[in-house]
Amino acid sequence: MTEVYNLGVDAVTCHDWNEGHNGIALCPNNNELHVYKQEASNWKLSEVLQEHDQRIMGIDWAPKTNKIVTCAADKTAYVWSQNEEGKWTPAWVLLRTNRAATCVKWSPKEDKLAVGSGDRIISVCYFASENNWWVSKHIKKPLRSTVTAIDWHPNNMILAAGSTDYKVRVFSAFVKEVDKNNSDSSWGSSSNLGNMFVDFCNSPNGGGWVHDVAFSPCGTKVCWVGHNSSICVADSMQGNAVTRLLTEYLPFLRCVWLDSNYIITAGHDCMPMVYKVDESGKLSFATKLDNTQKKEAAGLTAMRKFQSLDRQARTEINDSALDSIHQNTITSIRKLSKSRFSTSSLDGLLVVWDIKSPELMMNNLRLN
């Protein structure tokens, strides 16, 4: 089951939901942050926030603290909080970087946030109450290029980062001002900020830059997608073994785990796709979730249809329409539950997908 919303914008570059899923924050491909509230079955624009000077690159809405963090190409980031009147007010995030902020993510406990940038830096930020702003500490080495994607480990102290040097790296994100105790994990022991546990190459033969990274819910695996139309999974419980799958599709831009065995990907092919990781670590294609199908009008064969159009000297209006709900690149995926997630696209649509459960999905959807 899918819910399709047209919020009246030409393109959506990123979006996120509040905890109750009755509020949406999105960027309409410019410097504005649009906040919507649900009214019955419709969405109403409640506020337009314009603190940034250039296009917003990332949005993350913290479910517990109800704070929104945004980062933009103007090299800034802001944490937005609601006051007593319900208005959103910004707090400055001191990134200390000289190039565009490209991605942002709250930590699981929402006491830290991480911002990637074109300055080959990850800013790990925490709140300084004496100054009422967010200060940062940097992870620099051995980053060699723009950081395009980041994700937090469930233990709140480890970061995965993908970049345009074809690498995925796993770092310690321990901040002594916030984190009370070190934490051991299958990746390593979180100690000093910036300690690198492991790095992976997107493809030993070159490959493409990394578009997105995501830790599995259990934290033992990390998935990433690259510009060479690949999807990869590394397993820290199997000696950091990497399973790579070069697909026949256009490059994926986003990936998210539904559970420890199923991954949703989406990008330039304009429809979500499901990949499965079995118990042995094998990665395989499962299905396309978009079951929209074009139908031949009145049962005409392709030749008869062409002859009819040619004879009447006309063309079909929808001849160029894609065989999918989204008609342009999917730019963002957000997980709502184990069976629901949302996608936004450059066609301006926001789509909520409900697949009930991975097992039910595999039984009921057509496998390709």
In this prediction, residue 180 carries a pLDDT of: 83
Q: Kindly tell me if the per-residue pLDDT of 116 is higher than 60.
A: yes
Q: Which residue has the higher pLDDT, 126 or 184?
A: 126
The average pLDDT across 104-112 equals 97
Segment 87-107 mean pLDDT: 96
pLDDT of residue 366: 42
Instruction: Tell me what pLDDT residue 300 has.
Output: 40
Looking at residue 291, its pLDDT comes to: 60
pLDDT in tens, 56-86: 999 999 999 999 999 999 999 999 999 988 8
Cα–Cα dist 85/87, whole Å = 6
In angstroms, the CA 308 to CA 319 distance is 14
pLDDT digits 0-9 by tens, 277-330 = 998 889 999 999 876 644 433 344 455 545 545 555 554 545 567 888 999 999
pLDDT at residue number 306: 53
Structural domains for the chain: 3-358 (2.130.10.10)
The pLDDT, as a whole number, for residue 212 is 98
Q: Tell me the mean pLDDT in the region 146-159.
A: 96
Asked if the model's pLDDT at residue 190 lies above 70, the reply is yes
Res 20 pLDDT > 60: yes
Task: Calculate mean pLDDT across residues 252-267.
Answer: 95
pLDDT at residue 48 tops 60: yes
Mean pLDDT of the chain: 88
* For range 131-141, the mean pLDDT: 93
The residue-averaged pLDDT of 4-21 equals 95
Look up residue 306 and give its two tokens. Answer: 């062409």
Q: By C-alpha distance, which of 138, 123, 113, 131 is closest to 61?
A: 113
User: Residue 364 pLDDT more than 50?
Assistant: no
Burial class (CB in 10 A: 0-12, 13-18, 19+), 58: buried
Whether the predicted pLDDT of 224 surpasses 80: yes
How much is the pLDDT for 368? 37
In the prediction, which pLDDT does 13 show?
96
Ramachandran angles phi, psi of 202, nearest 5°: -60, -35
State what percent of residues in the chain have pLDDT above 70: 88
Parallel, antiparallel or unpaired: strands 241-246 and 340-345: unpaired
Q: In angstroms, rounded to a whole number, what is the distance separating the alpha carbons of residues 215 and 59?
A: 18
Nearest to 325 by CA among 301, 294, 359, 281: 294
| Cα–Cα distance, 214 to 180 (Å, whole number) | 25
Top pLDDT among 279 and 365 is at 279
What is the average per-residue pLDDT within 187-202? Answer: 89
* Residue 78 CB neighbour total at 10 angstroms: 24
Instruction: Specify the pLDDT at position 333.
Output: 97
pLDDT, residue 280, reads: 84
R_g of the chain computed on alpha carbons: 21
Per the model's pLDDT, the better-predicted residue between 185 and 99 turns out to be 99
Write down the pLDDT at residue 281: 85
Q: DSSP string spanning 127-188?
A: EETTTTEEEEEEE-TT--S-EEEEEE-TTSSEEEEEETTSEEEEEE---TTT--S-EE-SS-
